Structures are given as structure tokens and as C-alpha cells.
Structure 1
């Protein structure tokens, strides 16, 4: 009896242990399942974060590539600086060349600008302002480029500047467009002034030349007086010619617009052109293979060609080569953005290139101004290129001069392409 009782008690204990074990197993499985679910959720969140980080990095890379400059991250306490790939793309430096510190940047700021830049940086950091400064930065080739530095300053809980993230942007193109805009404004103002003065002078000259004609018709005028009146009339006619050129520059003269083929016109003028530039200057022409039609006053077009050729001849007193070329050009949006006032479209390009002494940039910037000349007194009026500018503008075109001292000059005239054929001569 006691043995049976002991066996029953043992069996009951085993059964209870089994129940407890199953309960513990279920609890363990539940915990494992919960932990697995939590891990899966953590992994999913980690993958989502990694994807978001990857997308953010892609967006940052795209944004950095779109900026015409280099993005930097400056740890102010340690002086460490990190740069984006724009440092190579825009300024030519590789990441290995930066030395990764603030001193490297300082050494590449134009020495003439550095004291001003450092003073402003110090003041902005102390005053709690973001950094915004223009200066010149030396690129890998040694050239100093104008840059705009925009830095966002990050501060700690006490307001102390600890980090600055910003972009160093090349603003060379912006400066060039600003110069073009200021030049266009100046030319417009000079044009209005020239037009007004020319009209007033025309009125005075009309009176002078009219009285000269009356005096010359007088029967009793002496030979000496006649000679004096003829001198007055000659001076008046020369002055009238100057006013006509001023009116052409200011785009207020009368024109006889027609459709002409630039190539045919150049062929017609070639003999005159060769005689005018002289034997010491070789004329080389390269004309486009197809008709190049424009709408312009023929006399004025001839004047444009001859005025540019005269300047080229005078720039080569020892002789040289004058190359005249024509072609069909399509100006795109990119060209229009980089050349203030230009409109995209199809144009006829007339290009004259000489091997002369060339001109420095300050002379090029003033070359279209009336009465501006680099020639000796008595060798020119300073209106030749002003007339070129006025005629081309009247025709809806553009003219640009590319020159450097000692490297010759290229004058490029763009005139709008005209679809209709030029009329045949009667």
C-alpha cells in the first residue's frame, strides 16, 4: 500500500513537472516570438533608415553636383574641414590635396582679400550671424576666381560656434554677365546722348550749309570769299558725315532694308577690300557652302565689313593675315544665358580675325563707344566700331570682340537668318 502511494505521488509530481515545463516552454516560445518580432521590426526600421539615408545621400550628391561650387564642413574646435566633389569639379583640387584643415583654405584665399575675410569671419562667429562673403580663391591652376562663400554656423547650447557648413561658389559667370549688363546700359545711355546731339547738330549744319549755298549763288562774290565759303561748306559736309555716323550708332538713321546673301555680298566687295587693306596684308576668305541670307541695309552692311577690316589693317602695320569667314550658326539657350541680350535661334556669323597687336580688356570694354580710339590724332574719328555696333543692333544682331594684347583680335557679327531668298537683280 505504501509503495503504491509513493508511486502515485511520484507520478503526480512528474505530471505537475510536465505541466510546469510545458508552461515554461510556452512562455519561452512566446518570448522568443516577441523578441523575433521586435528584431524583425528593428531590422525593418534599420533597413528603412538605411534606404532613407541612401536616398538622402543621393539627393545631397545631386544637389552638390548642381551647385557651381564646393560644399564644405568645418569643425571649428578641431579645425578639420571636409569638402564635396565640387572642389575637384570647379576648382581642380582633389580631396587628397586639401590636407583636411582650415589652414589649407586660408592659404588659398587671395592675400589681398584674406585680412578682410578673416575679420568678417571672426565678427560673424562672435555675433551669432551666418557667414556671407565675396573674395578671390586660388584654383589648382593658380588662377584666382571670384567666389561667394555662404556658411551656416551651428552652435552649442551655450551659443558657442562649433561647426560651419557652407558652399564656396564660383561666381565668374555672374560677374561676366553683370559686366555685360553694365556695358549694355552704358551703350544705351551713350546712344541716346549721341542721337540727341546729332539731331541738334544736323539742324545747325542745315542752316550753315544752306547759307553757304546762297552765298555761292551770289553773282558778285569775290574769288577770295568764294574760296572761304567753299572751305566752310567742306567743313560742314564733314561734320554732317560725322552726325550721320552718330545717328547710325544711336539707331535713328533712315535705312533701306533688303534681303541679301552675305556670301554674294562679300564676293562683290572682295576687290575693294583687297585694295583697302593693302599688299602687306593677306586676305583669306572662307565662305559658307550655302546661301546665308539676312535682312539689312546693304550700304550699312558694307560699312560694317569695311570698318572692321580697316581696324584689322591698322593693327598690322608690318603686315599679316586677315581671315574672313561666314557660316550658319544655331545659338542655343546656354549661349543666350552666357551672352546678355542674345536670343536663341538661327544666325549668320560673319567673323573677321587678324594677327595684329590685340587689345587689353579695358580697351575691348570701350571699343564701341563713340569717339573712343587708340589711334594717333588725325588717323581716325573713333566712330568706326560705333557704327558697326549701331548697324548690327538695328538689324537685330549682336557683335562681340575677343582680343588680348599680343594675340590678335576676332570680331564676331551675328545677324538673324532670313528664310526668304534674296531678290534677283533686275
Structure 2
């Protein structure tokens, strides 16, 4: 009996507890829903970009503060729903009539669609926006879904992109007209970039370097490769600092260019980027070398002037004593005294030539035939060559009239024949030949002052030991010689070079080790063929 009363009371308490629990759960979810709505409302209203809640036809149902500022709040006061399409300006192949269909057919679940379009703002000005559409299943009316559109203002980004494009275009124009090469190497990704005169300076295309088809060190002059590599390795330990080096490169056509490279290594703890500027300093280097050459010749001139002056004073004493001796000796010895006097006169003529060179004076030049001058000086050259060397003279059968100093030509030929003799070890031959050409060869040593032909040419060829490329590049340097100490001054060829330059002519040298050497002297001819005998 007692238990029959207890059971209903327990059931009632359980039902009351269950009702309270369900009520609390409902209150919790309602509170959570209210909080969620409040959070959404705060996010929605305070979002910096325009947000539109749209129906299926893209009619504006709700809009946040940013959206109202964009298109103008006064336009939304009408009781009629205003379509978002009213504020869209079509572009990029997207039609406003097709937009609702695209959204309804493609937007499913979490899918998002994005279109770059212009929105007409409250002032009637089109502003670039990125419109991002999603399906919205919210609490406005739970029976259906809507479109939620976020309009991200792209004007600042578009302006930044325009500024970037303009900046890139300015850099491209600058790089293409830069008188050198700009480069950057991304060491982490092993990607390099080159701009400027890459092809004109190296003969290789930009793609050859950027595609790692050829390495930069492959074009560096063999004598400068080790110096460049050492400098490069040192710069890797100098992050943030500038490094510079001067070196030579070899163009694909064989030309040698002097370059100066300014390099900077960038990174934090390790090297990340290497960038630099490379520009052509060939002209500057040439001027520096010409200046050094001029200074050497100036020093040589001062030395020569002093020696010639002292030697000339001694000759005057010897000449006076010779004349006195001639008046005192017998008739049998007078011939000997005459020979002595002739030797003194020859020595005096030599000192006068040295003084002409030292003081930069112009020796007397007259119109002469090269063939006739060679016939006159040939006996001297033949005696100089010695008995073991065969000397041959081959002259063209027509006059080669040039305006020339006979003394300087003789001295130049003597220097060249002596050099040819020294290059022949034992027996050999030297050929002196004349000819005429209408134009100059492309590989002459220097560009002449007079470029129009015709030119008279004297070839001095030997079958001696020849010269290597290093010797060929230095043979016209004052004091440069390959002979043993005491056997040469290194001045002969520099004097020949100066003589040809003064005439407005030029000199060409061809040589091969073990096969011999040929010097070609090009003299500008006098076209009217009038000359002195």
C-alpha cells in the first residue's frame, strides 16, 4: 500500500525535473542564438567593406553601413526593393543579365563565386570592386536561402598595380638603355636575372645566362678567371657590403672588353641574393694605356735627349781632332782620316735623329717612291742580315709614291730586319716585298688617321721562331723585349710604331710559333704620283 503511493510521487518529480532541464536548455540556445545574432549584427554593421543581403533576383534586402556609404543611403529609402544590378557596370565579359542565372546555377553549399566589376558609388563614379557571392541560410526568413555579397574595394589595389606596372616599365626602359648589365641572382631558388647590354657585350643572349646554358666565368679572359673567382668568394663573406673588380671578357667574335663590376651580397645570416652592375670600361682602359705609353715615351725622350746632347759634344771634339790630324798626316794616311771623318758625320746624323725624336720635332718629309728607297737601303739591310741568312727583295712594277722621311724609313727597316735576324736560329730567309692595296685589312694593330686608299705596303717576312699571343700584344710597348739582358733595349718596334702613326699609316703583325713572322707597313699613297728622285 505504501509503495503504491511512492511510485506516482517519484514519477511526478522526474517529470518536473525533466521539464526544468528542457526549459533551461531552450533558454540556453535562445540566449546563444541572441548572442550569435548580436555578434553577427556587430560584424555585419561594422565591417569595413560593403555587405549586401540579396534575394534570388539580386534585390537588396539588407545592407550594412559601408554599403550605404558606397551607393548612398537615400537610394534605399524607397519601399520598392532596389536591385544590386543597378549599381554594377558590366566589364570583363560578365553581363548583368546573366549574373542572377550564374549565381542560382552555380552557388551550392559552401561554393563561392567572385567577379571583378565596377560599382557605381553615390557620386556616380565607377569604382573597381571584387564581388564575392555565397549562399546564406540565416535567420532573416528560415523558409528560404539568400545571396550574401561582399564587395571588396579594389581601387587602392588597382592603383598600386598600375604604379607597379609603370615602375616596371620605367625599369625596363632604363635597363634596356643602360650602358652595361644589371643582374640579380636568387641563390636560394638558384634563379638569375639579367638586363641591359648582355648580347652586345658578350655575344650571348640573356636566355643563355638565365637558363644556365653558359656560366658567366666561361666568358672571362683566361688570365682573369682566377682573380675573379677569388674576388667572388671573398664577397660571399661580406654580406651587405659592396665589392668591385675590373676584369676582361672575350666576346663570341673574339673581341676583348674591359668590364668593371660592382657587386652586393644580401641576406640575414646567410647569402640569399647577389646583385650587381657590370659596365664597359674598355675606352677608359685604352686611354689609361695610351697615357702610360705617352709617359714612357716622354721619359724615353728626355733620356735620349740627354744622351744625344752629351754624345754630340764628344763628336765635336773628335771631329776637331780629326781635322787637325788630317792637316798633319802624310798623303798615304789622308784616306784613313777621311774615313774617320765620314764615321763622325754618320754618328752626328744619328744624334740629330735622336734629338728629333726626343724633342718631338718633325723630320723633313718629301714625296718619294718606296721602291727606290728600298733599292737604296737594301745593301745595308743585306749586310745586317749576315751570311747565314738569305735576303730577298721583291718590288712591285709601279711606283708607290708616299710623303715620307727617308731617314725614319731606313731606321724602321733596319730595326725590323735586325729583329727578323734575331728570330732566325741558324739558317733562314728574310723577304722584303712591296705591293699596293685599295683598302686596309680588318685586323690591323691600330686605326690609321687616313682611311682612304690606296696604300703602299712593305712586307718584311721571316721564317724564324715566331711569337705567341702574349708577346704579340706587347711588342710595341717601349722597353718591352724578349731578348737576353744586354742584347736589346725594347725600343726598336715602339719607334717603328710611332713612325707609322706619324705618317698616318698603320702596321699589322702576323706570327705563329715555329713558322715565322710578317710585318706589314701600310703607307698612304700620293694619288698624283709626283715624287722627288
Question: Residues 46-65 of structure 1 correspond to what in structure 2 (within 5 A)?
Answer: 53-54=168-169, 56-63=171-178
Larger RCO (CA under 8 A, 6+ residues apart): 1
Q: Of the candidates 496, 519, 525, which is equivalent to residue 388 of structure 1?
A: 496
Task: Tell which structure's C-alpha radius of gyration is larger.
Answer: 2
The question of whether the paired residues in 1 share the 8 Å contact of 2:175 and 2:195 is answered with no
Q: CA deviation at 1:215?
A: 2.0
* TM-score computed with the length of structure 1 as normaliser: 0.63
Q: What's the counterpart of residue 237 of structure 2?
A: 122
Q: What's the counterpart of residue 308 of structure 2?
A: 198
Q: Hey, which of these two has a bigger chunk of helix by percent? A: 1
Mapped pair 1:411 → 2:519: yes
Q: Of the candidates 170, 180, 185, which is equivalent to residue 74 of structure 1?
A: 185
SS state at 1:422 partner? coil
How many angstroms apart in 2 are the aligned matches of 1:137 and 1:371?
25
Q: CA deviation at 1:242?
A: 4.2
How many angstroms apart in 2 are the aligned matches of 1:387 and 1:119?
44
How many angstroms apart in 2 are the aligned matches of 1:99 and 1:252?
53
Q: Of the candidates 236, 246, 269, which is equivalent to residue 134 of structure 1?
A: 246
Q: What's the counterpart of residue 409 of structure 2?
A: 301
Mapped pair 1:365 → 2:365: no
Post-superposition CA distance 1:363-396 (Å, at most 9, x none)? 8735575896849989x99875465356445545
SS state at 1:24 partner? coil
Q: What's the counterpart of residue 265 of structure 1?
A: 370
The question of whether the paired residues in 2 share the 8 Å contact of 1:92 and 1:139 is answered with yes
Post-superposition CA distance 1:113-148 (Å, at most 9, x none)? 53344224423x2xx432212356798899998643
> How many residue pairs were aligned?
383
Q: What's the counterpart of residue 3 of structure 2?
A: none
Specify whether residues 168 and 399 from structure 1 end up closer, same or farther in structure 2 by C-alpha distance, changes over 3 A only: same
How many angstroms apart in 2 are the aligned matches of 1:396 and 1:321?
25
Q: CA deviation at 1:214?
A: 0.5
The question of whether the paired residues in 2 share the 8 Å contact of 1:147 and 1:169 is answered with yes
Q: What's the counterpart of residue 350 of structure 1?
A: 457
Specify whether residues 189 and 325 from structure 1 end up closer, same or farther in structure 2 by C-alpha distance, changes over 3 A only: farther
Q: CA deviation at 1:165?
A: 2.3
Q: Of the candidates 256, 267, 270, which is equivalent to residue 364 of structure 2?
A: 256
SS state at 1:319 partner? strand
Unaligned stretches of 5+ in structure 2?
1-77, 91-117, 121-125, 130-153
Specify whether residues 323 and 55 from structure 1 end up closer, same or farther in structure 2 by C-alpha distance, changes over 3 A only: farther
Q: CA deviation at 1:198?
A: 0.7
Q: CA deviation at 1:419?
A: 7.0
Specify whether residues 188 and 294 from structure 1 end up closer, same or farther in structure 2 by C-alpha distance, changes over 3 A only: farther
How many angstroms apart in 2 are the aligned matches of 1:280 and 1:247?
34
Q: CA deviation at 1:297?
A: 2.7
SS state at 2:437 partner? strand
The question of whether the paired residues in 2 share the 8 Å contact of 1:331 and 1:346 is answered with no
Q: CA deviation at 1:210?
A: 0.9
Q: Of the candidates 79, 86, 107, which is equivalent to residue 29 of structure 1?
A: 86
The question of whether the paired residues in 1 share the 8 Å contact of 2:497 and 2:507 is answered with yes
Q: CA deviation at 1:49?
A: 6.7
Specify whether residues 78 and 286 from structure 1 end up closer, same or farther in structure 2 by C-alpha distance, changes over 3 A only: farther
* TM-score computed with the length of structure 2 as normaliser: 0.53
Q: What's the counterpart of residue 184 of structure 1?
A: 294
Q: What's the counterpart of residue 12 of structure 1?
A: none
Q: CA deviation at 1:112?
A: 5.1
How many angstroms apart in 1 are the aligned matches of 2:188 and 2:471?
45
The question of whether the paired residues in 2 share the 8 Å contact of 1:309 and 1:352 is answered with no
Q: CA deviation at 1:73?
A: 0.7
The question of whether the paired residues in 2 share the 8 Å contact of 1:304 and 1:388 is answered with yes
